[in-house]
Amino acid sequence: MTLKIQTPTEQHLLERISQFKKTTWLPVVEKRTGTVLNSKFSGIPLLAENEAWPCCGLCQQEMQLFVQLNSNELPVEAQQIFGGGVLQVFYCTNDEQGCEVECEAYFPFAKSTLLRVVDPAKVVAKTLVVSPVIDAFEEKVIITWHAADDYPNCEELDELGVELSDKEAEMLYEQDFPKTGDKLLGWPAWVQGIEYPECPVCSDSMKFIFQIDSEDNLDYMFGDVGCAHITQCEKHPERLAIAWACC
């Protein structure tokens, strides 16, 4: 991690947009096998005893577990963010069948993805030793979270009523705001435009929960160095989405 000293102009800019400052949480991981209840990238998720591993709606193969977040293991301030329980994101990375492209998995609600929140109190956990996923990613257990400040990008600031000059927009980008890499909450690092999905039930904009960036904790690239965002409808918490964009 590089520590950058802020110049007075940079400080002035951050003061100007301070009302939009949010805390983002960066996962600190350890490469090891966790329990089915741990927050983690890849590995064995919490599944019910009588349940099969979630399969892709196109190729029918077991999908990768991209991330699992146990609300009890999140920072205290973020524990209720998706309503409690264990959030799971499954995503098919089968290139032979080209599921990502065929199912347009860059858009929300693709059939080669599954997002859900499991209530651990209602599940008798299945015990699996080996992942059935072909070429499963290496498991990384999230052992803690580091808090960092986060700010919206210039386009989002513009929608919020703050217009930045080109120089200020560049300054923000150079300071890595919004933060790139995997993170919980904060502001999405949009690659294209602002793309909060609409809830299919109420059409409200879905709330940003988690960012999965190309080749950060998962050895996976979304298109050409794209960035994926997990979102949820505040009124319909069962409506969860992953979507991504690249240059």
Which chain residues interact with Zn ion by CB under 5 A? 56, 58-59, 92, 94, 99, 112, 199, 201-202, 233, 235-236
| CB nearer to Zn ion: pick between 32 and 98 | 98
| CB nearer to Zn ion: pick between 99 and 185 | 99
| CB nearer to Zn ion: pick between 112 and 211 | 112
| CB nearer to Zn ion: pick between 65 and 233 | 233
Closest distance of CB 116 from Zn ion, Å: 16
| CB nearer to Zn ion: pick between 155 and 204 | 204
Closest distance of CB 10 from Zn ion, Å: 38
Phi and psi at residue 149, in whole multiples of 5°?
-75, 150
Closest distance of CB 242 from Zn ion, Å: 14
Closest distance of CB 232 from Zn ion, Å: 9
Closest distance of CB 99 from Zn ion, Å: 3
